[in-house]
Chains A and B, each alone.
Chain A
């Protein structure tokens, strides 16, 4: 991964190792925010912003704080602190600039704080030994992969609304089945990179 080209990184992050459907990270907003394509897309945008920013800042934190002072063991604690503060900041700004998106995201924006996908990207960037450029590209691509998955899922769920589903499967059961089928579909990309 370290020597992979940018294109490979993008394809890998979006399709082959899709965070939701292949690595099973960030399932909570994936299920919670996918009732409407609109809110799903909004959530996707928020995640793209947060993950890219988190990727960049954690890269700097890693390079100029953790490594020089040999305290890599503090990695997870520090990353969580950074992500939490960042999400809080995004929330305050969104409330002012895009109140509609803010109310549409509701409780899920604060939940990005504890979203394992965000922390996952930060840790993976370090594992792959990415430079700054590759970190940015990888982070953004992962978030785009998340957005792709959630928007696909939301559009299927919107269609489901109009269907006659057996009572036992209505709501989350059928959503989980759809999620697993989507995951199967993405399994087809395995081995491409």
Chain B
């Protein structure tokens, strides 16, 4: 028979201690209250509350506190310029341009084009797959297609198509959660407007590369030779584009024999001179890499559109805004592999 005291005492003593400590803490939190800067709360309210860590702080509140302490107002990649403006308004400073927006990119077109080495039966996650001799794909640097990146993406910016993950650039906020989640480390950040991208990270060389995947980079260096801007190089047996030098002229895309370079050819442009603006300064002709712009000094210039590669250099250099970029109407050369 349990005595009444034995039953009640633990409840009373534990409950009593709980109440006593609760009171003590309530008293302490008032007595030792630290007033947060009210601006931090305001900033926290306008931040997207994604707590994604894209800004480099563990959470939105930590970033808000850092802003009050003098951190830049434009670090929130999720909110973008809109939130930067609101934060700047709270802080009473001008929003600085957040710089070029960057989006994630899965550098693999493998999927159904890549050969499987074995039949994987197990947990359907890229991480688990990667532990079994680097996954079932014969190419060891390709997308496994299980969507670990899709699972961590809070913004619905990743879709799985033909066995590879693909970033929907419009939805991507640049939080880099997928970059960290990918066990193959084939997701990188690229400038948002970038059209020409090498979608391969395979650093092996030899005949088996092509056997393993029909759209793999075979390190033939044709793109390197075709590039007039020193923007694409074969580094460690895979072509890598230096986005700061790339002009999106797509010449590498045109020469690539395997189709590992992706580009939307509908975005190919050619230059055209707006005659009423042109003062004949010859700056465009001097800068043109293909020398397709002709014209005497102080005469209206002309662009040979069959030679123009659409590098946009003349467009950027022209002091009078006399160059227009028009879509290249009919691409004479459509690739069979594309």
Report the nearest A residue to B22, measured CB to CB. Answer: A85
Q: Which residue of A lies closest to B29 (CB)?
A: A92
Are A85 and B14 in contact, CB atoms less than 8 angstroms apart? no
In the complex, chain B residues whose CB is within 8 Å of the CB of A114: none
Q: Of the candidates B14, B24, B32, B33, which one forms a contact with A74 in the assembled complex, judged by CB atoms under 8 Å apart?
A: B14
Q: Does A133 sit at the interface, judged by CB under 8 A?
A: no
CA distance A93 to B27 in the complex (A): 11
Q: Check A95–B32 contact: CB distance below 8 A.
A: yes
- What distance in Å separates the Cβ of B230 from its nearest Cβ neighbour in chain A? 31
**A74-B28 CB under 8 A given contacts A82-B17, A85-B21, A96-B33:** no
Interface residue tally for chain A (C-beta within 8 Å) = 19
Inter-chain CA distance A70–B25, complex, in Å, is: 28
- What secondary structure prevails in chain A residues at the interface with B? helix
Q: What does DSSP make chain B's interface, helix, strand, loop or mixed?
A: helix
What is the CA–CA distance of A40 and B30 in the complex, to the nearest angstrom?
30
* Least Cβ–Cβ distance between B194 and chain A, in angstroms: 32
CB-CB under 8 A from A92, the residues of chain B are 25, 28-29, 32
Taking a contact as CB atoms closer than 8 A, the residue among A70, A78, A93 that contacts B32 in the complex is A93
Contact indicator A89/B13 (Cβ below 8 Å): no
Instruction: Identify B13's interface contact among A65, A88, A93, A96, CB under 8 A.
Output: A65
Note all chain A residues with C-beta closer than 8 A to B21. Answer: 81-82, 85
Q: State the Cβ distance, A81 to closest chain B Cβ, in Å.
A: 6
Q: Contact between B17 and A78 (Cβ–Cβ < 8 Å)?
A: yes
Tell me the nearest residue of chain B to A81, going by C-beta.
B17
Q: Is the CB of A81 within 8 A of B34?
A: no
Mark A93-125 against chain B: 1 for CB-CB distance below 8 A, else 0.
101110100000000000000000000000000
B9 at the interface (CB under 8 A from A): yes
Contact with B along A78-90 (1 / 0, CB 8 A): 1001100100110
Asked whether B10 is an interface residue with its Cβ less than 8 Å from the other chain, the reply is yes
A162 interfacial contact with B, CB 8 Å: no
Check: B18 CB closer than 8 A to any chain A CB: yes
Complex: how many Å from CA A161 to CA B28? 40
Chain A residues closer than 8 Å to B336, beta-carbon distance? none
A85/B25 contact (C-beta < 8 A), A71-B9, A71-B13, A77-B14 known: yes
Whether the Cβ atoms of B24 and A89 lie closer than 8 Å is: yes
A7 interface hit (Cβ, 8 Å) = no
For A81, list chain B residues within 8 Å (CB): 14, 17-18, 21
Indicate whether A70 sits within 8 Å of B6 (C-beta atoms), given known contacts A65-B13, A93-B28: yes
- Give the shortest distance, in Å, between A77 (CB) and chain B (any CB): 7
**Minimal beta-carbon separation of A158 from chain B (angstroms):** 24
Contacts of A88 in B (CB 8 A): 25
Q: Which chain B residues border A71 with CB–CB below 8 Å?
A: 6, 9-10, 13
State how many angstroms separate the Cβ of B130 from the closest Cβ of chain A: 19
Contacting residue for A89 out of B5, B14, B28, CB 8 A: B28
Residues of chain A within 8 A (CB-CB) of B9 are 69, 71
Q: Which of A65, A81, A95 has the most CB of B within 10 A?
A: A65
Q: Which residues of A contact B10 (CB under 8 A)?
A: 69, 71, 74
Indicate the member of A78, A85, A99 with the most B CB atoms within 10 Å: A85
The reply to whether A69 and B28 contact each other, CB–CB distance below 8 Å, is no
Q: Name, among B6, B10, B18, B24, the residue most crowded by chain A CB atoms within 10 Å (CB to CB).
A: B10
Q: Which of A118-165 contact B (CB under 8 A)?
A: none
Known pairs A81-B18, A85-B21, A88-B25; A69 contacts B5 (CB<8 A): yes
Q: In the complex, how many angstroms separate the beta carbon of B185 from the nearest chain A beta carbon?
A: 16
Q: Given A69-B9, A95-B32, A95-B34, A89 and B25 touching (CB < 8 A)?
A: yes
Nearest CB of A to B124, in Å: 30
How far is B13's CA from A82's CA once the two chains are assembled, in angstroms?
A: 12
Q: Closest CB of chain B to A148's CB: distance in Å?
A: 30
Jot down 23 A-B pairs with beta carbons below 8 A, ordered by A.
A69-B5, A69-B6, A69-B10, A69-B13, A71-B9, A71-B13, A74-B10, A74-B14, A78-B13, A78-B14, A81-B17, A81-B18, A82-B21, A85-B24, A88-B25, A89-B25, A92-B25, A92-B28, A93-B28, A95-B34, A96-B33, A97-B32, A99-B34
13 further A-B contacts with Cβ under 8 Å, apart from A71-B10, A99-B34, are: A71-B6, A71-B13, A74-B13, A74-B14, A82-B21, A85-B21, A85-B24, A88-B25, A89-B28, A92-B28, A95-B32, A95-B34, A96-B33
- Across the A-B interface, give the 5 residue pairs with the lowest CB-CB distance, nearest first: A85-B21, A96-B32, A69-B9, A92-B28, A71-B10
Binding site for B on A (CB under 8 A): 61, 65, 69-71, 74, 77-78, 81-82, 85, 88-89, 92-93, 95-97, 99
